[in-house]
Amino acid sequence: MGNHEGKGIIYMMKSALYDLPVPLNLSNFWNFGSLLGVCLTSQLITGLLMAAHYTADTELAFSSVAHIMRDVNGGWFIRSMHATGASFFFVCIYMHIGRGIYYQSYYMKNTWWSGCSILMLLMAVSFTGYVLPWGQMSFWAATVITSMFSAIPYLGVLLVEWLWGGFCVGDGTLKRFYVFHFVGPFIMVVLVIFHIMNLHETGSSNCLGVSSDADITCFHSLYTFKDLVWIVIMLYCLVMACLWSPDLFINPYNYIPASSVKTPQHIEPEWYFLFAYCILRSVPNKMGGVLALVGSVFVLYLMPLFPRKNVLKGFAHNFIARMFFWDFVAGFIVLSVLGGCSIDMPLSTLGPLATLSYFGFFAILPFLFIDWGFSKKSKGL
């Protein structure tokens, strides 16, 4: 029985990584899926190594992180790989999503929805991990973000107290976040497997956006080599960033122990959450801000429901749609920049405008690829 099970696993891996039929015209933008797999593996390994020395206690968490950095052999490098690797993870997943939008991969519904679920879980895992060092920025980020749930009618206060494990952010909060941060990545592995299985059922999209059944090749060796090249490049950049600047993506305030009586002058999340944080700040109403924050990610789930035109598709073949796409990308970058700035004039007026641009893209997207019947009919030769 064990021999048959082993052969079954080998066959599944072979069909997934070796004999998988893929289109011949995939560009380098299709390499980000493999890079995400490497990022997830790196985060799991470094996270497990740090978990052996971390203590989820408000009195000991900060000192246990300092112990990892100073006393554990190679601990500073492991933590830097974990912290910097999270940023690389989000760069790859944002590029992966951007490619999916540009080439309309969201019409592969199950694959897209599982990918959106991975993004949501990744954000939750990253946020809880940001709290674990129990520095000043960690403590106040947990306080501000969890307090948003109080805007939920009727159940908001109960939900916040359950997240806190009491009436304020404290030891119960830290322990809850640690458990979720530890278990979450393994749930993500299951979602990734489900994501890959759905992708293999539908087949990969391509630059033209049409069926490529007549022009396919095996994943190995063309795409394994291309993936390997980009994996080496990414790992080289990651290691160099960790060696040259180990605290590149660590907020300076997180080197100060958490204190409930001293509030940082400017509270901000990690850079990969800044776009959502700016959207939250741009809406004056608390409930409206929370809805806009959730909607900024949840709107991705609605994209497979948009009308579809069964011809050459994608923004690459539609000039007007391409303009809106790059406007959306620019709006995302502007939101991220503004999210890291203090709320002063004239920046305070740019936030709402960038928010409108962000949501406006999704509002107009269903109408960009509809055939309105205005095109001229081709005449016979």
Instruction: Tell me the binding residues for a ubiquinone.
Output: 200
Rg (CA), the chain: 23
User: Which one is catalytic: 42, 64, 126, 204?
Assistant: 204
Structure tokens, 222: 């063309």
User: Which one is catalytic: 53, 67, 109, 226?
Assistant: 226
Helix (H, G, I), strand (E, B), or coil: what is residue 305?
helix
User: Which one is catalytic: 200, 220, 317, 327?
Assistant: 200
Catalytic, 204? Answer yes
Catalytic, 220? Answer no
Catalytic, 227? Answer yes
Catalytic, 201? Answer no
User: Which one is catalytic: 270, 282, 296, 313?
Assistant: 270
Contact 205, 108 (CB under 8 A): yes
Please identify which residue in the block is written with the tokens 């980009």.
Answer: 230
213-218 CB contacts, 8 Å cutoff, 24+ apart: 215/23, 215/24, 215/25, 216/21, 216/22, 216/23, 216/24, 217/21, 217/22, 217/23, 217/24, 218/18, 218/19, 218/20, 218/21, 218/22
Question: Residue ranges for the binding site?
Answer: 82, 96, 181, 195, 200
User: Which one is catalytic: 227, 282, 313, 336?
Assistant: 227
Structure tokens, 76: 């500073």
Contact 112, 310 (CB under 8 A): no
Question: Residue ranges for the binding site for heme b?
Answer: 82, 96, 181, 195
Q: Which residues are catalytic?
A: 200, 204, 226-227, 270
